[in-house]
Amino acid sequence: MFKNFWYAVEFSEDLPAGTPKKVKLLGQQLVIYRKSSDNSVVAMSDLCVHRGAALSGGSVKDDCIVCPYHGWEYEPDGAVRKIPAHPDKGIPRKARIDSYPVQEKYRFIWIYMGDLPEAERPPIPDWSAIDDTETYRAVSGSFLWKSNYERILENGVDVAHTPFVHGGVFGNPEKPEVPEFEVEESEWHCKVSVKLNPPRSKGIWGWINPNKQDLKDRPQVPVSTTWWLPNMILLEVDTPMGAMKIFDVNIPIDEETTLVKFIALRTFFKGKWADRDARRRVFKVLYEDEAVVNAVRPELLPFDLSAELHVKSDYNAVLYRRRRQELIDKGWSVEGNTIVGEGPARVEARVIPS
Q: Rule CB under 5 A: which residues touch Co ion?
A: 289
**What residue 74 binds from ligand FES, Co ion, none (CB within 5 to 8 A, per partner kind)?**
none
Cβ–Cβ < 8 Å for 230, 324: yes
Backbone torsion region of residue 141, taken as left when φ is above 0, otherwise alpha when ψ lies between -120 and 50, otherwise beta = beta
Cβ–Cβ < 8 Å for 70, 50: yes
Binding piece for ligand FES, criterion CB under 6 A, among 46-54, 152-160, 296-304, 320-328: 46-54
Q: Is residue 48 a contact point for ligand FES (CB under 6 A)? A: yes
**What residue 51 binds from Co ion, ligand FES, none (CB within 5 to 8 A, per partner kind)?**
ligand FES
Q: Is residue 72 a contact point for ligand FES (CB under 6 A)? A: yes
Cβ–Cβ < 8 Å for 121, 112: yes
Contact residue for ligand FES among 70, 270, 280, 310 (CB under 6 A): 70
Interatomic CA distance for residues 20 and 261, integer angstroms: 20
State which residue, 110 or 247, has the beta carbon closest to Co ion.
Answer: 247
State which residue, 255 or 289, has the beta carbon closest to Co ion.
Answer: 289
State which residue, 51 or 195, has the beta carbon closest to ligand FES.
Answer: 51
Q: Is residue 53 a contact point for ligand FES (CB under 6 A)? A: yes
**What residue 289 binds from Co ion, ligand FES, none (CB within 5 to 8 A, per partner kind)?**
Co ion
Interatomic CA distance for residues 287 and 347, integer angstroms: 11
State which residue, 58 or 203, has the beta carbon closest to ligand FES.
Answer: 58
Backbone torsion region of residue 241, taken as left when φ is above 0, otherwise alpha when ψ lies between -120 and 50, otherwise beta = alpha
State which residue, 69 or 315, has the beta carbon closest to ligand FES.
Answer: 69
Q: Which DSSP category does 79 fall into?
A: B
Residue closest to Co ion when measured from CB atoms? 289
Which of 283, 268, 291, 270 lies closest to 349, judged by CA?
Answer: 283
Q: Which DSSP category does 140 fall into?
A: E
Contact residue for ligand FES among 35, 59, 60, 69 (CB under 6 A): 69
Q: How, if at all, do strands 28-34 and 21-25 pair?
A: antiparallel
Query: Binding residues for ligand FES, per CB under 6 A?
Result: 48, 50-51, 53, 67, 69-70, 72
